[in-house]
């Protein structure tokens, strides 16, 4: 199950990244399922719920990220790190089904896997600040 959730978080990050580049996706859940097939087996209900939650609470998630990364305006952040932060921030603030340490570790691992070592450190710092501010 843990591996499925890891892949689900990656899929959601990818949809958010793609959505940003295209400015809109008409049906993000379908895009999530279509594009994620190459990742492996997902926890589809978890992935859909996570994506829906991030999109529904987008303003609150962005505000939390910006508040805890005041030196980094959104447009200056690496788009991969930004997408990962949105997923992690949503889980920390509104998810409630995974411990903060698990959410942060997952986000850091994804940032290292898809971004840079610096991205992992940046994601760690911002999510750690969000977790401690709750």
Helix (H, G, I), strand (E, B) or coil at 47: helix
What domain range includes position 124?
Answer: 2-133
pLDDT tens digits, residue range 36-45?
666 778 888 8
pTM comes to 0.90
* Whether residue 24 has pLDDT greater than 90: no
CATH of the domain at 25: 1.10.940.10
Number of domains the chain is built from = 1
Question: How far is Cα 54 from Cα 50, in angstroms, rounded to an integer?
Answer: 6
């Amino acid at each position: 199950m843990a591996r499925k959730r890891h892949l689900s978080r990656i899929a959601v990050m990818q949809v958010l990244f793609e959505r940003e580049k295209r400015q809109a996706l008409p049906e993000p859940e379908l895009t999530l399922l279509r594009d994620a097939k190459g990742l492996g087996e997902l926890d589809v209900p978890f992935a859909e719920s996570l994506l829906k939650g991030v999109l529904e609470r987008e303003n609150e998630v962005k505000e939390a990220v910006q508040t805890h990364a005041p030196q980094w305006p959104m447009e200056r952040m690496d788009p991969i790190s930004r997408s990962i932060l949105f997923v992690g921030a949503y889980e920390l603030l509104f998810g409630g089904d995974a411990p903060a340490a698990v959410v942060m570790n997952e986000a850091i691992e994804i940032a290292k896997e898809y971004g840079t070592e610096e991205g992992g450190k940046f994601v760690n710092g911002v999510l750690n600040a969000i977790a401690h501010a709750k």
